[in-house]
C-alpha cells in the first residue's frame, strides 16, 4: 500500500509527537526534507509561526530522519 508523503507527515506530526504538531507545519516539513535530500541542509525555511530555521534543524526538531532514507526496492 502506498501512502503519499503529505498523509504520512500528517499522521507523524499528529500521533508521534506530544503535544501534536499542528498540521500547518506539513508544507515546511516537506520543504525541509526536499532541501536536505538535495544536499541543502542549511537552506532556511520560514515556518508558519514566523520563525525561520535551517532545513536540518526542522528535520531534527520534527524527527523527520525517516523521510531521508531511500526506500528499499526489494519486495517481500
User: Domain limits of the chain?
Assistant: 5-68
CA distance 27 to 33: 10
Q: Provide the grid cell at 52.
A: 525561520
State the pTM of this model: 0.88
Q: Read off the pLDDT of each residue in 9-20 and give the average, rounded to a whole number.
A: 96
- Interval 27-71: pLDDT, tens: 999 999 999 999 999 999 999 999 999 999 999 999 999 999 876
Distance between first and last Cα of the chain = 13
Are 44 and 53 contacting, i.e. CB atoms less than 8 angstroms apart?
yes
Amino acid at each position: 500500500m502506498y501512502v503519499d508523503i503529505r498523509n504520512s507527515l500528517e499522521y507523524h506530526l499528529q500521533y508521534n509527537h506530544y503535544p501534536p504538531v499542528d498540521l500547518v507545519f506539513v508544507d515546511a516539513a516537506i520543504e525541509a526534507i526536499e532541501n536536505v535530500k538535495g544536499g541543502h541542509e542549511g537552506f532556511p525555511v520560514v515556518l508558519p509561526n514566523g520563525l525561520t530555521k535551517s532545513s536540518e534543524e526542522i528535520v531534527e526538531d520534527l524527527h523527520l530522519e525517516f523521510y531521508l532514507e531511500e526506500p528499499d526496492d526489494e519486495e517481500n
